[in-house]
Amino acid sequence: MNSRDTLATELNVLADFNPVVPQAYKDASVVMLGNLHPIVQSSVLNQMTTQPKLVVLDTMNFWMDCALPELLEVIKRVDVITINDEEARQLSGEYSLVKAAAKIHTMGPKYVVIKKGEHGALIFHNKDVFFAPALPLEEVFDPTGAGDTFAGGFSGYIAQSENISFENMKNAIIHGSNLASFCVEKFGTERMVNLNKEDVYARLQQFKSLTQFDIKL
Amino acid sequence: MNSRDTLATELNVLADFNPVVPQAYKDASVVMLGNLHPIVQSSVLNQMTTQPKLVVLDTMNFWMDCALPELLEVIKRVDVITINDEEARQLSGEYSLVKAAAKIHTMGPKYVVIKKGEHGALIFHNKDVFFAPALPLEEVFDPTGAGDTFAGGFSGYIAQSENISFENMKNAIIHGSNLASFCVEKFGTERMVNLNKEDVYARLQQFKSLTQFDIKL
């Protein structure tokens, strides 16, 4: 069992966990549903008083195994789903990630983000696809929390830029990858709590150097 | 044994294989040494009458296992080495690809290309690194020849553009990845012999869409 499985099991045991959305957050324009029981995710959506402009959902194989009908119900209601490559294959029954994303589109989400850990992340929207690499690092101390950091960075970028276009989601996925690259450098939240804007901007520059080219067409 | 191993074994059996460089090629500015016994690779270099501007070498785990001293000799003489991620780890004894590339730099090559199959390719040059993704494909029929197509596309791009800067190598690695994405679509050389410039340009546009973003710093 990896750390995500352990977490999920613990959360499942907390069967009466029933988060209450504070009044001031009930009209949020961007809602990020963290990786919890799909019934909990649905209950958060039900508490929103206005329809969010964008709903992002993170989930995992554990819920596909033990709460698939409830998961499919909440997936119908979200705009963006973030899962890893193996989970995308499990959810869709397709090995090719291109085919998997196309099938997951039909389940509801217009945007399908597939995380590949050290191999980066893909975002699919109909026939469009964008890829954000993971930054090649000298050492990875602890990958725990990288997926959550990625999803939070993605959603936070969209929320602050107030732009839910696919072009801006490309930036958001780079921003999420950038933040996740810090998360894995130390144990727990140690690197994140000591992060400043200069660090983030400097590394965004590295992402640019890593991926931008100028081939003439 | 995979197809590369089979090929290597067959070539090793041909112990008297002794390629002769035609007179007209002896002053080539870009030389690509295909994945053969390192003694054969050295013999090709020895036949050049002028020092090439750029020598690219492809090799594999098989030669690391059975001809490491000869391999290290020829590696000293090349500018670019292309190997896959597992081979980079074997050659360097380092798991992190960043550390592996740094160690391989000290063996000779100023540029280290690490191929990660469906996960793309990295090129390292001192502290600089560039990443080319593999194009997400609906189906991969046959990966045989993808690495050779990549190395040929890379070297061909450098040769025709007559520019061996790191910036241009970024374009070359994209060009090689682009060609390799066609190679795997059909068996053997079938897709490559039917390829035209329009196909290549259209897919380069896909590589741009896949990787280019415009995040403000």
% of residues, chain B, pLDDT over 90: 84
pLDDT, chain A, mean: 92
pLDDT digits (tens, 9 = 90+) for A102-130: 999 999 999 999 999 999 999 999 999 99
Specify the higher pLDDT residue, B91 or B14. B91
**In angstroms, what separates the C-alpha of A154 from chain B's closest C-alpha?**
13
Q: Quote the CA–CA distance of A178 and A152 in Å, as a whole number.
A: 11
User: 3-class SS at A109?
Assistant: coil
CB-nearest partner of A98 from B132, B137, B205: B137
> Catalytic: which of B58, B65, B85, B148?
B148
Provide the pLDDT confidence category of residue B140 given band limits of 50, 70 and 90: confident
Q: Quote the CA–CA distance of B96 and B92 in Å, as a whole number.
A: 10
Catalytic residue flag (residue A148): yes
Q: Quote the CA–CA distance of B105 and B80 in Å, as a whole number.
A: 9
Per-residue b or e along A1-19, where b marks 16 or more CB atoms closer than 10 Å to that residue's CB = eeebeebbeebeeeeeeee
| DSSP element (H, E) containing B132 | strand B128-132
Average pLDDT over residues A23-37: 96
ipTM passes above 0.95: no
Record the pTM.
0.89
Which residues on neighbouring strands pair with residue B210, listed in sequence order? Answer: none
In this predicted structure, the answer to whether residue B15 has a pLDDT above a threshold of 90 is: no
Helix A68-75 and helix A38-46, axial crossing angle in degrees, nearest 10 = 30
Provide the pLDDT confidence category of residue B6 given band limits of 50, 70 and 90: low
Q: Which residue has the tokens 């009458």?
A: B49
Q: Quote the CA–CA distance of B159 and B161 in Å, as a whole number.
A: 6
CB-nearest partner of A136 from B98, B208, B213: B98
Whether residues A129 and B96 touch (CB distance < 8 A) is answered with no
The whole-number pLDDT of residue B216 equals 76
Q: Quote the CA–CA distance of A57 and A163 in Å, as a whole number.
A: 18
The whole-number pLDDT of residue A3 equals 60
**In angstroms, what separates the C-alpha of A96 from chain B's closest C-alpha?**
6
pLDDT digits (tens, 9 = 90+) for B162-207: 999 999 999 999 999 999 999 999 998 999 999 999 999 999 999 9
Chain A residue with CA closest to B132: the answer is A211
pLDDT digits (tens, 9 = 90+) for A12-27: 555 568 899 999 999 9
Q: Which of B131, B174, B203 to mutate to test the interface with A (most CBs of A within 10 A)?
A: B131
Query: How many CB atoms lie under 10 A from the CB of residue A214?
Result: 11
CB-nearest partner of B215 from A128, A131, A171: A171
Which residues on neighbouring strands pair with residue B111, listed in sequence order? Answer: B80
Q: Quote the CA–CA distance of A83 and A103 in Å, as a whole number.
A: 14
Whether residues A209 and B130 touch (CB distance < 8 A) is answered with yes
pLDDT digits (tens, 9 = 90+) for B64-120: 999 999 999 999 999 999 999 999 999 999 999 999 999 999 999 999 999 999 999
Average pLDDT over residues A138-153: 90
Provide the pLDDT confidence category of residue B1 given band limits of 50, 70 and 90: very low
Provide the pLDDT confidence category of residue A1 given band limits of 50, 70 and 90: very low
> Catalytic: which of A27, A148, A199, A214?
A148
